[in-house]
Every structure is written in structure tokens, then in C-alpha cells.
Homo-oligomer: A and B are copies of this chain.
Amino acid sequence: MSTLPVFERARIADGGPAPLYLKLKRLVIDAIAQGTLADRDAIPGERDLARMLGISRVTVRKAFADLVADGVLVQRRGSGTFVAPKTGRIQLPLSRLTSFTEDMRLRGIETFSDWLDRSVALPTPEESLVLALSPGDKVIRLHRLRRADGKPLAIERSSIPHRFLPDPMAVETSLYAALTERGLKPVRALQRLHAVALSKGDADLLGLPEGSPALFTERVAYLTDGRVIEFTRSHYRGDSYDFVAELHLAAGS
């Protein structure tokens, strides 16, 4: 077994207080991102790694279990642990769902936004709950009508805790760009989606008859520390928008 500077004791001992298995996960992900570890590369055995890093094997296994669940590593009993081969497309962390902007840009379609609301407001009970607001906290509302080729495609209603983004007018086109400038990058999100019939008001905005089918999505985005940064509800025209997802076989069960 070689020294493998990637997995030196120091790389995990310092760096502030954080669970060891999370530090190890980050170590592996960064090494892959930087090319130090390539596709199908072998990772040292769990016992070796534990010894090298000065932690217990159980902790190594916990980190590896997460990384396998995320599709970053693959494990073969009796053989070893390896960097998962890429399936053709970029998929650094994993399971990505294409977003409005990305998807449209991919198709070479230029998109525009009309602001329906861009204000500071008192939160609704739902916003308070989802954004984990304290009493008295305010929210920023960013409601937009998304258009492409002059045709309305979607209504997007985002709420952000006021303390994260004091001025709603700071958001010009991309909410995520505005957040990133402030060092508030969402790293994880949960999205729920289902089909609904459009209300009269939303149907008018999208230029459709009342009751037309639409894809309704609710997304909650989180920062690295687990705080909720964004709550967005969107209505996509059923006839104009496709969501695409890549599914992987569940590893554990």
C-alpha cells in the first residue's frame, strides 16, 4: 500500500469541528473533482484507510456508505472500493434534475422574465414553517412570469428569508447568481412535483384556459449548514415543459 497523499492523517484532523465521516466524504469528492482520483480508481481498503487517517473503520464505512448511495463510489465484496465510472454525462455530485434556465439554454432558447412581485413582506404561515423563520422575520418575494420566444412558459414564486437577501431589487435575472455573490450557495434541494389544473388567475398569466394541466413544483433549497435558503413554487405549462430525470438502481435495499 502506497502513501497516497490524498489520504494523509492531517487532511482530516484539522479543518474545524465537523463529523469525521463528513470530512472524509469531502476529501474523496474533492479528490475526484480535482482529478487526483479518476474513474474506476481503487480506493484503499477500509482497514488501511482507517489506520492512515487515524479513525475507526466504522467511521470510514459510514462515509463510504453515503458515497455509494450518492453514486460516487462502488463497492465489490471481496474485491474493493472504486471510484464509480461516469455514465457519459457530467454528474459531479449526482441526481440532477434539469432546471428551467439550464434546460432552455441547452435548447438554445433565450428566456425572459416579467416580474409579478419583487418585495419585502410578512411571511405566510407556510413560509414561516418551511423557511424556519423566527417571529418578526420577513421574507423576500420574487414572483416571475417566465417567457421564451414571447410565449409564457411558467410562473415562478420564490421566497427567501429577508436576512439572507436584504434587497429584492438586487436580483436581476438569476436568483442563484445573486445568492452566490453573497456567499449563499444552495448545495442541496428537495423538490416535489405533481400535476394540477390551473386556477383562473394563473391560467390567464400563461395564456391558457382555466383548468389547463400544469406541472406544479415545490422546491426547498438548503445551504451547507442545513439552513433553508429558498422556497420556490412553480407552475409549468403542461404542453411546453418536460422534466427529465436519470434514475439509478437503489443500492441498499
Contact = CB atoms under 8 A, between A and B. Distances in A.
A215 B30 CA distance: 34
Contacts of A87: 188
Copies in the complex: 2
B249 A187 contact: yes
Contacts of A182: none
Interface string A97-129: 110000000100000000000000000000000
Interface of A: 25, 29-30, 33, 58, 66, 69-70, 87, 89-98, 106, 185-197, 211-215, 219, 221, 236, 238-239, 241-253
B89 A243 contact: no
A215 B195 CA distance: 5
A135 to B, nearest CB: 21
Contact of A249 (B69, B188, B251): B188
A192 B247 contact: no
A32 to B, nearest CB: 9
B70 A253 contact: yes
**The 4 residue pairs across chains A and B that have the minimum distance between CB atoms:** A195-B238, A93-B248, A95-B95, A213-B213
B70 A245 contact: no
A84 to B, nearest CB: 12
A70 B190 CA distance: 14
B197 A96 contact: no
Nearest to A98: B250
A248 B33 contact: no
Contacts of A247: 94-97, 188-191, 219, 221
A157 to B, nearest CB: 17
Most B CB contacts (10 A, CB to CB) among A91, A96, A191, A236 go to A96
Nearest to A29: B251
Nearest to A191: B245
